[in-house]
Structure 1
Amino acid sequence: DGASKSRLVARARTPQAIVATLWSIALVSVGLHFELVEPSRALALFPVLGVITVVAGWRFHVRAGGITGDFLGATEQLAELAVLVVLAWR
């Protein structure tokens, strides 16, 4: 739909995924450099976020046939919660 505000994000492909991944790596690298996050926790973030992204995307396609802005927001909230849990885990 041409009026959809999330159409560009919903149609994102490999180049956009690479850019998002590079931003994540840069942010985690800054945290590691300034010793704000432990290396083991930083490494745990990527598979956790990958699983959330893949499972959420699959579920949205199965249940609703695609991705909407609400689904993008829900995925972001799940990812944020996962990051907080991984970083706070003792």
Structure 2
Amino acid sequence: MSSNQDTHLIHMTNQIAANLGGGRDEEMAAAATCRHLETFWARSMKQRLIATLEREDAALSPLAKRAVNLLAERLARRHSG
């Protein structure tokens, strides 16, 4: 997947986080965003998005970044146990 596709995934994640975050506590909004990604995104999209966490130039909003970290934790737990 190209960097342009990564940029698109990041943009979509930021939009989802903004839409689901309105008026919610940050942890609730991050959890809701994580659930959305977990439920509706293809495994390859989730894996690619999680990989962007290692890049310092990834333009995830703080809320989106928290949601992606939650997603990474959930997927790691699912695969380890």
Quick one: higher RCO (CA 8 Å, sep 6+), 1 or 2? 2
Q: Give TM-score scaled by structure 2 length.
A: 0.38
Q: Give TM-score scaled by structure 1 length.
A: 0.36
